[in-house]
Amino acid sequence: METTQKQIVSQEQLVEWRRHLHMNPELSFHEEKTSQFIYDTLTQIPNLDVTRPTKYSVMARLVGTKPGKVLAIRADMDALAIQEENSFSFVSQNPGVMHACGHDGHTAILLGTAKELSDRRDSIQGEVRFFFQHAEEVFPGGAQEMIDAGVMEGVDYVIGAHLWSPLEVGKIGIVYGGAMASPDVFRITISGKGGHGGMPNETVDSIAIGAQVVANLQHIVARTTDPFSPLVVSVTQFHAGTADNVIPDSATIAGTVRSMQHELREDTANRIEQIVKGITGAHGATYSFEFEYGYRPVVNTDSVTAKIEHTAKELFGEERVVRTQPTMAGEDFSAYLEHAPGCFFFVGVRNETEESTYPHHHPRFTIDEAALSIGKNLFVQAAIDLLKEEVV
């Protein structure tokens, strides 16, 4: 395997890009300045054909000196509606908006990858496409919008990575098969009959009925699902009532369903409605039920995953490459995997001494920036390796 001998992009440059992006976060489908910064940076790199497939996304193409296959590498760029609570010098300058999931780092890593592979164009057999994707955090997501614009046409492999707080910095996390879950959402409205809190016999109590629904939803995972099929059903909202002495007419319950199997998603939606229908009917109430399918599960291709794992071990040593458990978080990288085989892996950022221990989506989330070079180096070498050898 040809390994990287010279670091074309310095750690300092990666940190500079990441901190600029961290200071200037933008929400999903509003990444105007972010995408312009990426576009301007890429157009200064030789050998790249830079385009805007959609309003807020950027794609760069690097065609190697030898014919071959097409590899796509993806990074997301959107931030979250969170008020940052960190105190370092490069905190968010946009009130209520924060890079609390590492997308600033993802973008910096891919910028560095594009610059380094451009300098090593003679090592590329085929073509590399760099996807700087908007709106990963908000369904229906930017991935599908980019795909609809044609970015995956002719792509043979697709890879991506997530900076990962649960994983120690210096480690690479590899998952074969199902890596991330589908983030589906349900919403239930129970309609009863309101009345005086002191005369419950004259009402159809939507809160009491709703409490039974919540309790019985727990049986879906505990008693009706194969224990070897990962499934999460979480009630995350319960809204009802406005006064201490009034039983409300209605109650609203909402939550999320997480699964690695599409068939299980459909079955779970049906089970939820069966429970709601039975309980409300037994107590003289009515209901409405909505189930919104989110992103599909991220399911890695074994052959591409094995290649990424091998490259990582060659670069960093076997002790730094670990098999990690799937996560029930969701990711719209799954949309790309519907069109080409690929792998989504994890790059550790956790470091107690750097205080990079907070979970994703926390107002004090940050990363150990040493992970930026690690992610960049793996992307660069993986691109060379995947395009040089046939992946069965």
In the chain, domain spans: 11-180+297-387, 182-292
Active-site option among 78, 116, 332, 369: 78
Structure tokens at 281: 């009917």
Please give the sequence-ordered ranges of beta strands (E in DSSP) within the chain, or none if there are none: 48-51, 58-63, 66-76, 125-133, 157-168, 172-174, 178-180, 182-191, 195-196, 231-240, 246-247, 250-259, 286-292, 298-299, 321-323, 342-350
CATH topology of domain 182-292: Alpha-Beta Plaits (3.30.70)
Residue 3 has pLDDT above 60, yes or no: no
Asked if 191 contacts 269 with a C-beta cutoff of 8 angstroms, the reply is: no
pLDDT for 183 beyond 90? yes
- Architecture per CATH, 11-180+297-387: 3-Layer(aba) Sandwich (3.40)
Query: 78 catalytic, yes or no?
Result: yes
Helix axes 11-23, 103-119, angle to 10 degrees: 140
Average pLDDT over residues 283-289: 98
Q: How many CB atoms lie within 10 A of CB 33?
A: 13
Q: What is the average per-residue pLDDT within 22-31?
A: 98
What is the band of 207 on the pLDDT scale with cuts at 50, 70, 90? very high
6 pLDDT tier (thresholds 50, 70, 90): low
pLDDT in tens, 104-137: 999 999 999 999 999 999 999 999 999 999 999 9
pLDDT at 150 over 80: yes
Average pLDDT over residues 234-250: 98
Residue 361 annotated in ligand binding: yes
On the question of pLDDT at 192 being above 80, the answer is yes
Which of 26, 104, 136, 309 is the catalytic position?
136
Q: How much is the pTM?
A: 0.94
* 137 is an annotated ligand-binding site residue: yes
For 299-315, the pLDDT digits (tens) are 999 999 999 999 999 99
CA distance 136 to 140: 8
Annotated catalytic residue 136: yes
Provide the token pair at 20.
């600029």
Q: Return the minimum-mean-pLDDT range out of 58-62, 225-229, 302-306.
A: 225-229
What percentage of the chain exceeds 70 in pLDDT? 98
The share of the chain scoring above pLDDT 90, in percent, equals 96
Residue with tokens 């799937």: 326
Strands 58-63 and 125-133: antiparallel
Q: Determine the Cα–Cα distance for residues 387 and 383; give it in Å rounded to an integer.
A: 6
Give me the pLDDT at residue 392, please.
56
| Res. 7 pLDDT band, cuts 50 70 90 | confident
Q: Tell me whether domains 11-180+297-387 and 182-292 share a fold.
A: no
